[in-house]
């Protein structure tokens, strides 16, 4: 924020005093150095401090990136959760919108938001990440927001999908289901029954209040640890079947090219990733103590370690993980670091409970047969600290 | 053994009550389902009655699709739909779509982008015929319907393999 835009806090308080009638009796020279006035009173809905500004970065109307480098802890404020949609945000009437479950079930059923809220509820914290994360970058002038801001974390509340499927009575031969949204393009994905019965939820609340429209209001599917596209928003229909439906989003899109020329399909799980959120572009730092901070997560379970290098990947040391370390959830890591004022590069790499170690960009490019990037690119990201304290993003070899 | 008895005792009342089913939700009637059940599967399940020719498809395409996808199915502001020598390596229906039924399903549910749901089933069959013809997957005189569409063999089918990542190393 520039100085000219800085609000004059002292003046604002004087004006509030005048507004409630007491100010009129006071002349300016009767104000003592330590004299204070009451601030504004209570309100129905709070706002951010007017000296703070933190925003998503919207792009082309179909995507919006979470400002990871401007946030703390592990929960993403709901209005800063990343967005990705394929036909805009529908405005659905919660009294009319229904979820229909049909196909290979004993009894086809439909549920309104009110019906879903009457089921025993489950609350869990997990990330949702778009498998296109890292594909968009602005070269060395990339922030953690543009590089990695297609991941966000919320505390979600809803009903296990298994409970709803049990109500309808899934037939023995059923192995897949189609999840379909109520947005303009009726986005749809095939989901294996095993995941539906494991930890899938139909959620109607995010961070303690109704889900935001851009996150699927009145309710969405939530598949913890899986690519965000499968957590179908504005859920309107689940068709139970014995085979995948081969929708456009799992054939033309969201498939991964391999070194042998084939394409990997139904690559649902998000592999482990980490990103340093401070110090990074566009910050400039002074020599001395800094806390290297970041986030790490894995779609396969818990993060067991994050290693940080302060010499461009030549040696690594373990960062501290801030507990509780949750399953399939953003985990905060920290490492105190004294910068000696010499140019260097800092990097982080996540290790999850399966023993997977986050790869470099070159390693991924080798197994995915590309010189660029694609879905499911989760490379180590480097931050080049220049001698003048300015910082640039670097890609890892 | 003692632990086992303990667990059994704890589990009994839960089983007896069957709290896993709730008297919630409403029966979805066949009409409720028919109104929204639009998916089409690779074996042709879900394809509606109707048919469409390449010629009809070309007319609808030029009117409703060309502005975004290019007059010849490529070179427009949005995705290229037709494989040509010039766009080799690009993912198009001809080079990258494993099932012909997906073309029908996607156009019917999602296109045209600004007015999805506005096309008749006959128009969707016709557009599917036209796009498959332009990708050299069917002849110009073929008329597609519920019986013939799912029988078309797509060359890209052989490209798709299941996910072999299972966690741990190596990087895949």
> The domain spanning residue A84 has which CATH number?
3.90.420.10
Question: Closest approach of chain B CAs to the CA of A353, in angstroms?
Answer: 8
For residues A155 and A220, membership in a common domain is answered with yes
Q: Is B58 helix (H, G, I), strand (E, B) or coil?
A: helix
Q: Does residue A1 form part of some domain? A: no
pLDDT at B20: 65
For residues A232 and A104, membership in a common domain is answered with yes
For residues A203 and A300, membership in a common domain is answered with no
Q: Does residue A381 form part of some domain? A: yes
Q: Is B149 helix (H, G, I), strand (E, B) or coil?
A: helix
How far apart (Å, rounded) are the C-alpha atoms in residues B49 and A288?
Answer: 73
How large is the average pLDDT for residues B82-97? Answer: 91
Please write the tens of the pLDDT for every residue from A196-222: 999 999 999 999 999 999 999 999 999
Residues of B in contact with A180 (CB under 8 A): 36, 39
Residues of A in contact with B43 (CB under 8 A): 243
CA of A300: which chain B residue's CA is closest? B167
Q: Does residue A359 form part of some domain? A: yes
Q: Does residue A187 form part of some domain? A: yes
pLDDT at B13: 45
Domains of chain B with CATH codes: 49-158 (1.10.760.10)
Gyration radius of chain A's alpha carbons: 24
For residues A239 and A282, membership in a common domain is answered with no
For residues A112 and A240, membership in a common domain is answered with yes
Task: Quickly state the pLDDT bin for B19 (edges 50, 70, 90).
Answer: low
Last residue of a domain, one of A247, A264, A282: A247
Residues of B in contact with A108 (CB under 8 A): 27-29, 32-33
Whether the CB-CB separation of A356 and B167 falls below 8 Å is answered with yes
For residues A77 and A197, membership in a common domain is answered with yes
Q: How many contacts (CB atoms, under 8 Å) link A and B? A: 150
Looking up tokens 């990997």, which residue turns up?
A: A264
Q: What is the pTM of this model?
A: 0.91
CA distances to B57, B71, B127, B131 from B66, rounded to whole Å, are: 12, 5, 12, 12
Contacts of B73-79 with C-beta under 8 Å, sequence gap 24+, read B73/B131, B73/B134, B78/B113
For residues A367 and A327, membership in a common domain is answered with yes
Please indicate whether, in this complex, the C-beta atoms of B20 and A163 are within 8 angstroms of each other: yes
Judge whether residue A25 has pLDDT over 80: no
For residues A237 and A278, membership in a common domain is answered with no
Residues listed for chain A: 397
State which residues form the domain around A345.
Answer: 273-395
Judge whether residue B3 has pLDDT over 50: no
- CB atoms < 10 A from the CB of A199, how many? 19
Gyration radius of chain B's alpha carbons: 24
Please indicate whether, in this complex, the C-beta atoms of A119 and B24 are within 8 angstroms of each other: yes
For residues A288 and A241, membership in a common domain is answered with no
For residues A386 and A287, membership in a common domain is answered with yes
How far apart (Å, rounded) are the C-alpha atoms in residues A151 and A128?
Answer: 6
Please write the tens of the pLDDT for every residue from A30-87: 678 899 999 999 999 999 999 999 999 999 999 999 999 999 999 999 999 999 999 9
Nearest to A56 by CA among A85, A89, A78: A78
Task: Quickly state the pLDDT bin for B89 (edges 50, 70, 90).
Answer: confident
- Token representation of residue A91: 């405005």
Domain count, chain A: 2
Q: Which residue has the higher pLDDT, A103 or B5?
A: A103
Whether the CB-CB separation of A167 and B22 falls below 8 Å is answered with yes
Question: Closest approach of chain B CAs to the CA of A200, in angstroms?
Answer: 16
How far apart (Å, rounded) are the C-alpha atoms in residues A181 and A172?
Answer: 26
Judge whether residue A109 has pLDDT over 70: yes
Q: Which residue has the higher pLDDT, A33 or A4?
A: A33
Please indicate whether, in this complex, the C-beta atoms of B167 and A100 are within 8 angstroms of each other: no
How large is the average pLDDT for residues A250-255? Answer: 97
Q: Does residue A204 form part of some domain? A: yes
Task: Quickly state the pLDDT bin for B137 (edges 50, 70, 90).
Answer: very high
Q: What is the CATH number of the domain that holds A385?
A: 2.60.40.650
Please indicate whether, in this complex, the C-beta atoms of A354 and B168 are within 8 angstroms of each other: yes
Q: Does residue A11 form part of some domain? A: no
For residues A288 and A242, membership in a common domain is answered with no
For residues A100 and A216, membership in a common domain is answered with yes
Q: Does residue A190 form part of some domain? A: yes
Last residue of a domain, one of A247, A265, A294: A247
């Amino acid at each position: 924020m520039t100085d000219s835009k800085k609000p004059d806090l002292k003046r604002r308080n004087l004006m509030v005093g005048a507004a409630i009638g007491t100010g009129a009796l006071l002349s300016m020279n009767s104000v003592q150095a330590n004299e204070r006035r009451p601030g504004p009173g209570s309100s129905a809905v709070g706002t951010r401090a007017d000296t703070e500004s933190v925003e998503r970065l919207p792009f082309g109307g179909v995507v919006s990136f979470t400002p990871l480098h401007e946030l703390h802890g592990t929960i993403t404020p709901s209005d800063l959760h990343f967005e990705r949609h394929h036909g805009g945000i529908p405005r659905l009437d919660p009294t009319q919108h229904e979820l229909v479950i049909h196909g290979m079930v004993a009894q086809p059923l439909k549920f309104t938001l009110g019906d879903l809220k009457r089921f025993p509820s489950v609350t869990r914290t997990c990330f949702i990440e778009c498998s296109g994360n890292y594909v968009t970058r602005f070269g060395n002038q990339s922030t953690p927001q543009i590089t990695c801001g297609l991941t966000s974390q919320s505390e979600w509340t809803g009903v296990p999908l298994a409970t709803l499927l049990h109500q309808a009575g899934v037939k023995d031969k059923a192995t897949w289901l189609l999840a379909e949204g109520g947005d303009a393009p009726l986005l749809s994905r095939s989901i294996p029954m095993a995941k539906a019965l494991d930890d899938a939820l139909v959620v109607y609340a995010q961070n303690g209040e109704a889900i935001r429209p851009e996150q699927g209001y009145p309710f969405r599917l939530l598949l913890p640890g899986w690519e965000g596209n499968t957590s179908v928003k504005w859920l309107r229909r689940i068709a139970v079947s014995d085979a995948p439906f081969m929708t456009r989003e799992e054939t033309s899109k969201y498939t991964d090219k391999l070194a042998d020329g084939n394409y990997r399909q139904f690559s649902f799980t998000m592999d482990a990733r980490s990103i340093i959120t401070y110090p990074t572009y566009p910050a400039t730092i002074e020599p001395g103590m800094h806390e290297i901070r970041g986030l790490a997560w894995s779609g396969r379970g818990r993060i067991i370690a994050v290693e940080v290098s302060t010499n461009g990947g030549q040696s690594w040391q373990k960062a501290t993980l801030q507990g509780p370390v949750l399953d399939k959830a953003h985990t905060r890591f920290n490492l105190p670091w004294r910068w000696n004022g010499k140019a260097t590069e800092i990097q982080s790499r996540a290790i999850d409970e399966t023993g997977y170690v986050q790869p470099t960009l070159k390693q991924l490019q080798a197994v995915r047969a590309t010189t660029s990037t694609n879905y499911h690119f989760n490379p180590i990201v480097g931050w080049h600290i220049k001698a003048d304290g300015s910082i640039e993003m670097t890609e890892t070899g | 053994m003692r632990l086992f008895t303990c667990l059994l005792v704890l589990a009994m009342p839960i089983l007896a009550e069957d709290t896993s089913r709730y008297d919630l939700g409403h029966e979805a009637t066949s009409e409720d389902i028919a109104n929204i059940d639009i998916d089409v599967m690779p074996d042709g399940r879900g394809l509606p009655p109707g048919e469409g020719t390449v010629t009809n498809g070309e007319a609808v395409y030029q009117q409703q699709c060309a502005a975004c996808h290019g007059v010849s199915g490529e070179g427009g502001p949005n995705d290229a739909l037709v494989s040509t020598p010039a766009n080799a390596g690009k993912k198009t229906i001809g080079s990258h779509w494993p099932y012909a039924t997906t073309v029908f399903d996607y156009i019917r549910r999602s296109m045209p982008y600004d007015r999805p749901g506005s096309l008749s089933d006959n128009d969707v069959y016709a557009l599917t015929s036209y796009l498959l013809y332009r990708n050299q997957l069917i002849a110009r005189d073929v008329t597609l319907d519920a019986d013939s569409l799912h029988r078309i063999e797509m060359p890209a089918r052989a490209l798709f393999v299941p996910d072999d990542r299972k966690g741990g190393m190596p990087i895949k």
